[in-house]
């Protein structure tokens, strides 16, 4: 990493600072005792709207979000919309996220004229984004070390020149962040494949790749089988490894409803997060006014980090033992008719001792049995999970074990039951459906080729963890990113930053300035696009885009504000412009696609299974649901049955003296976008450079609350990385486990450490040692 990058661990004489606003001054942490959402959220929204000077528009946005017949899809997360009746299905973080895009601040050419890129690189990530919305296409000028305005045609021509000069199409790579619409996604993968490469790394490679692969192997589809109605009908919800109150806040509505109905709600998380306590559902006006909260949990289980597989196996073991007294504890009829591999799994579970399950999960046997009983008694159960499960070395095996447990009681293919990955970005699932896949199947490619008259490459392409070394080696020369903040989201900036700088051209299609614009290739473009809240005036009138939520519902989304700048272009038009300039002899009607999304959808209807009659079906009031064979008990696996997996228990216990560190989001952050240095539900004020630790682990290291610590991570290849001057905070979590914030702690995530099961970086499984800091800074700030 070069000196101009401001990285906190490299300021060795003072405590580390985070990537947020860093207002300075006192910081603190006290446990939060208020219900999730409710008035705390309402007050926070008010503050955000005032800050962005968006009180009036912001209020309008709230009413147009997630509405039946018009309005736009909330860019906040992939949780499905409950759009029946009069409910206003919104949340604090969705509003913050939408208004963040609508800010009146602008990063104009005059702004770029006033700052060199070397200077901008010293700004915090918060300050970069706070410059406001990007307004015109900009090109990096090495002579002045500044970004200067260019026309769209000049920008496209530059992309065309670089791409045509590559010789081998595999020297280009195309990154997507999961917010891209289905239409833009389809055009992007078409561009890549017509060019001749499957180099399509995406944020999903760091997010839910493990879920897709494990479920594909187990039930023949990479998607969950549940929808919101299942959530409303189930009598047991098991929610694993998610901080729902912050990251999927509309789930609180379902949890509160489930509680009132008398359903069991189990949270499995090393931390007892806010959603595992009580909530006041924000649109529940009466309860807001009267401060009535509803419980959102009936049982909290705190495994050690990566203890989930052992815990799931414990449920299975309990069921096998319970059969003696309750023959229906296991659904033999379902197993007989629909599954394969049961006997091997049963032997595996029976051979695993309770002592080992207890040691590996970090949960006492009696507690595991209690969980097993809750599950046994449930008529229908859903198991949902997010990053706490997926960003692990053995995530694939763990998700297979989740499915095993569901299969044991026939909890799939019926109402109120099933596996339910909780996706992150609002259209990350749609991106995969519409072709963002570096390992596409033959059937998919054949159909695409037929519909589009191209010959797609068959060789697999590069994913996130492989594209970075390819850039470092000079094998990938052109890196085009559709949204996101690759530099900051990816692991190991000390390796990733120079890799990006080694490209001949980096292109970032973005709404706001971020780290990925100041860590750039020799040539670099920033191409400003419309946000989802903005009107898209296409050739044939106002255009709508489509997205697919976490539960396979596809629906239209229309922006409702005028674009922040007249120079902005919509993503499909930007992709079409770059593609047309860089493909020789293309027969694809790029300029038609650029302004008329019905034409893109016509082609998608031919190219993608399940999208038949796309234009008509997506105009139905609630859109349409993509068919999900596993939901109908059709398992597209090798045996035509749901597959039990059978794997040995991995070792999740850290070596003596070491801890397993997970990196996560605060409440006031959206991935790499950090709104403030607070983390309301964990009671943190004004501090991001912290590590939550078990009190005994702190004592063992001679640490008191707020003491400065140095944290060293140990990679599989023996290399080490460190941060210095963080703060230790005692927190209710199991011994041996620790948690801190991404993206600051990405410096500890080694580039080579990814799961062989999913190729996901181990962002929730960093092996670390924590020692009192070498910095002897006074603790006077506290």
Ligand X SMILES: Nc1nc2c(c(=O)[nH]1)N[C@H]1C(S)=C(S)[C@@H](COP(=O)(O)OP(=O)(O)OC[C@H]3O[C@@H](n4cnc5c(=O)[nH]c(N)nc54)[C@H](O)[C@@H]3O)O[C@H]1N2
Q: How far apart are CA 594 and CA 423, in angstroms?
A: 29
618 binds ligand X (CB under 6 A): no
Is there a contact between 206 and 763 (Cβ–Cβ < 8 Å)?
yes
511 binds ligand X (CB under 6 A): yes
The 417-436 contact track toward ligand X, x by CB under 6 A, reads -------xx-----------
Non-local (6+) Cβ contacts of 20 within 8 A are: 124, 125, 126, 668, 669, 674, 675, 676, 677, 688
The 245-264 contact track toward ligand X, x by CB under 6 A, reads -xxx----------------
Region from 66-74, 241-249, 607-615, 679-687 binding ligand X, contact rule CB under 6 A: 241-249
Token pair recorded at residue 645: 């997996």
Is there a contact between 395 and 210 (Cβ–Cβ < 8 Å)?
yes
Region from 135-143, 618-626, 641-649, 744-752 binding ligand X, contact rule CB under 6 A: 744-752
Among 16, 107, 207, 228, binds Mo ion (CB under 5 A): 207
Q: Tell which positions 696-715 bind ligand X, by CB under 6 A.
A: none
483 binds, among ligand X, Mo ion, none (CB under 5 to 8 A by kind): ligand X
29 binds, among ligand X, Mo ion, none (CB under 5 to 8 A by kind): none
Q: How far apart are CA 104 and CA 95, in angstroms?
A: 16
Q: How far apart are CA 674 and CA 544, in angstroms?
A: 29
The 128-147 contact track toward ligand X, x by CB under 6 A, reads -x------------------
Q: What is 187-217 written as a DSSP string?
A: HHHHHHHHHT-----BGGGGTTHHHHHHHHH
CA distances from 731 to 85, 291, 690 (A): 41, 27, 11
388 binds Mo ion (CB under 5 A): no
211 binds ligand X (CB under 6 A): no
Smallest gap from Cβ 674 to Mo ion, in A, equals: 16
Of 553 and 763, CB closest to ligand X: 763
Secondary structure element (H or E) that encloses residue 381, with its range: strand 381-385
DSSP H helices, 3-151, are 38-51, 55-64, 92-101, 109-114, 117-120, 125-130
572 binds Mo ion (CB under 5 A): no
* Cα angle: 90, vertex 434, 604; to 5 degrees: 110
8 binds, among ligand X, Mo ion, none (CB under 5 to 8 A by kind): none
Smallest gap from Cβ 476 to ligand X, in A, equals: 17
Among 273, 284, 549, 769, binds ligand X (CB under 6 A): 273
Is the C-alpha dihedral spanning 219, 220, 223, 227 positive or negative? negative
98 binds, among Mo ion, ligand X, none (CB under 5 to 8 A by kind): none
Measured torsion, CA atoms of residues 592, 598, 604, 605, in degrees rounded to the nearest 10: -140
Radius of gyration of the chain (CA): 25
Region from 482-490, 627-635, 724-732, 750-758 binding ligand X, contact rule CB under 6 A: 482-490
673 binds ligand X (CB under 6 A): yes
78 binds Mo ion (CB under 5 A): no
Smallest gap from Cβ 123 to Mo ion, in A, equals: 25
- 691 alpha-carbon distance from chain centroid: 21
Region from 61-69, 81-89, 478-486, 612-620 binding ligand X, contact rule CB under 6 A: 478-486
197 binds, among ligand X, Mo ion, none (CB under 5 to 8 A by kind): none
Among 8, 418, 424, 662, binds Mo ion (CB under 5 A): 424
| Strand intervals (E) in 431-587 | 478-482, 505-510, 523-528, 537-538, 541-542, 545-548, 553-557
663 binds ligand X (CB under 6 A): yes
755 binds, among Mo ion, ligand X, none (CB under 5 to 8 A by kind): none
Of 378 and 733, CB closest to ligand X: 733
Smallest gap from Cβ 179 to Mo ion, in A, equals: 11
568 binds ligand X (CB under 6 A): no
Is there a contact between 265 and 237 (Cβ–Cβ < 8 Å)?
yes
Is there a contact between 540 and 521 (Cβ–Cβ < 8 Å)?
no
Region from 63-71, 141-149, 675-683, 739-747 binding ligand X, contact rule CB under 6 A: 739-747
Among 102, 188, 228, 509, binds ligand X (CB under 6 A): 509
742 binds, among ligand X, Mo ion, none (CB under 5 to 8 A by kind): ligand X
Region from 4-12, 292-300, 408-416, 525-533 binding ligand X, contact rule CB under 6 A: 525-533
Smallest gap from Cβ 531 to ligand X, in A, equals: 5
| Tokens 């230790």 belong to residue | 728
Classify residue 734 by its DSSP letter: -
Of 746 and 773, CB closest to ligand X: 746
The 66-85 contact track toward ligand X, x by CB under 6 A, reads ----------xx--------
Q: How far apart are CA 211 and CA 357, in angstroms?
A: 23
Q: How far apart are CA 162 and CA 247, in angstroms?
A: 39
99 binds ligand X (CB under 6 A): no
Q: How far apart are CA 377 and CA 374, in angstroms?
A: 5
755 binds ligand X (CB under 6 A): no
Of 18 and 241, CB closest to ligand X: 241
Specify which residues 175 forms β-bridges with: 481
CA distances from 566 to 150, 264, 368, 529, 687 (A): 14, 52, 59, 11, 39
Contact positions toward ligand X, by CB under 6 A? Answer: 76-77, 93, 129, 177, 179, 203, 206-207, 240-243, 246-248, 268-271, 273, 303, 305-306, 308, 386-389, 391, 424-425, 482-486, 489, 509-512, 514, 529, 531-532, 571, 662-665, 669-673, 739, 742-743, 745-746, 749, 763-764
Contact residues toward Mo ion (CB under 5 A) are: 207, 424
């Amino acid at each position: 990493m070069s000196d101009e990058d401001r990285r906190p661990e490299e300021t060795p004489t003072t405590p580390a600072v985070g990537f947020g606003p860093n207002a300075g001054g006192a910081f603190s942490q006290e446990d939060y005792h208020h219900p999730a959402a409710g008035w705390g959220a309402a007050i926070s929204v008010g503050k955000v709207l005032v800050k962005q000077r968006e009180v009036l528009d912001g209020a309008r946005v709230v009413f147009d979000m997630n509405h039946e017949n018009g309005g736009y899809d909330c860019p906040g997360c992939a949780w499905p919309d409950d759009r029946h009746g009069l409910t206003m299905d919104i949340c604090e973080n969705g509003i913050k996220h939408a208004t963040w895009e609508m800010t009146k601040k602008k990063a104009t050419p005059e702004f770029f004229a006033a700052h060199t890129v070397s200077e901008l690189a010293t700004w915090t990530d918060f300050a970069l984004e706070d410059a406001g919305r990007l307004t015109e296409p900009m090109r990096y000028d090495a002579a002045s070390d500044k970004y200067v305005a260019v026309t769209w045609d000049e920008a496209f021509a530059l992309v065309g020149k670089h791409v045509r000069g590559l010789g081998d199409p595999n020297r280009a790579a195309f990154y997507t962040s999961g917010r891209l619409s289905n239409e833009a996604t389809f055009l992007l993968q078409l561009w890549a494949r017509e060019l001749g490469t499957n180099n399509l790394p995406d944020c999903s490679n760091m997010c839910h790749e493990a879920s897709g692969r494990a479920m594909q192997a187990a039930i023949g589809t990479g998607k969950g089988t549940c929808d919101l109605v299942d959530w409303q009908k189930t009598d047991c919800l098991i929610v694993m490894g998610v901080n729902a109150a912050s990251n999927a806040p509309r789930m609180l509505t379902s949890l509160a409803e489930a509680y009132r109905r008398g359903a069991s709600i189990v949270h499995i998380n090393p931390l007892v997060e806010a959603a595992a306590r009580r909530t006041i559902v924000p649109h529940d006006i009466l309860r807001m006014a009267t401060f009535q909260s509803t419980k959102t949990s009936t049982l909290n289980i705190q495994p050690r980090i990566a203890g989930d597989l052992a815990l799931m196996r414990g449920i299975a073991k309990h069921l096998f033992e319970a059969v003696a007294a309750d023959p229906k504890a296991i659904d033999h009829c379902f197993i007989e008719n629909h599954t394969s591999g049961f006997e091997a799994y049963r032997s595996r579970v029976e051979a695993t001792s309770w002592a080992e399950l207890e040691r590996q999960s970090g949960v006492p046997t009696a507690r595991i049995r209690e969980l097993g009983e809750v599950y046994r008694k449930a008529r229908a159960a859903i198991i949902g999970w997010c990053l706490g499960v997926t960003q692990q070395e053995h995530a694939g095996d763990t998700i297979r074990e989740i499915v095993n447990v569901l299969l044991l009681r026939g909890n799939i293919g019926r109402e109120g039951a099933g596996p339910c990955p909780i996706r992150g970005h609002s259209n990350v699932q749609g991106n995969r459906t519409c072709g963002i896949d570096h390992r596409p199947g033959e059937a998919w490619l054949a159909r695409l080729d037929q519909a589009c008259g191209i010959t797609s490459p068959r060789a697999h392409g590069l994913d996130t963890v492989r594209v970075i070394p390819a850039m470092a080696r000079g094998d990938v020369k052109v890196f085009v990113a559709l949204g996101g903040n690759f530099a900051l989201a990816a692991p190991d900036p000390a390796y990733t930053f120079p890799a990006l700088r080694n490209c001949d051209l980096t292109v970032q299609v973005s709404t706001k300035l971020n780290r990925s614009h100041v860590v750039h290739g020799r040539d670099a473009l920033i191409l400003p696009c419309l946000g989802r809240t903005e009107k898209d005036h296409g050739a044939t009138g106002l255009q709508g885009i489509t997205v697919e939520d976490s539960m396979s519902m596809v629906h239209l989304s229309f922006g409702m504000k005028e674009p922040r700048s007249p120079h902005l272009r919509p993503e499909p038009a930007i992709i079409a412009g770059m593609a047309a300039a860089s493909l020789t002899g293309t027969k694809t009607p790029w300029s038609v696609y650029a302004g008329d999304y019905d034409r893109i959808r016509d082609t998608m209807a031919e190219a993608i299974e399940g999208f038949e009659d796309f234009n008509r079906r997506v105009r139905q009031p609630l859109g349409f649901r993509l068919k999900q064979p596993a939901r109908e008990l059709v398992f597209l696996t090798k045996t035509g049955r749901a597959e039990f997996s059978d794997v040995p228990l991995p070792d999740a216990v850290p070596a003596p003296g070491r801890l397993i560190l997970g990196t996560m989001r605060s409440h006031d952050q959206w991935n790499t976008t950090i709104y403030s240095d607070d983390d309301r539900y964990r009671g943190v004020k004004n501090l991001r450079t912290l590590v939550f630790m078990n009190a005994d682990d702190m004592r063992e290291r001679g640490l008191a609350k707020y003491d400065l610590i140095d944290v060293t991570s140990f990679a599989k290849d023996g290399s080490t990385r460190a941060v210095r001057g963080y703060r230790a905070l005692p927190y209710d979590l199991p011994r041996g486990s620790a948690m801190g914030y991404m993206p600051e702690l990405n410096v500890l995530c080694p580039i080579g450490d990814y799961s062989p099961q999913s190729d996901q970086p181990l962002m929730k499984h960093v092996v670390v040692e924590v020692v009192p800091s070498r910095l002897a800074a006074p603790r006077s700030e506290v």
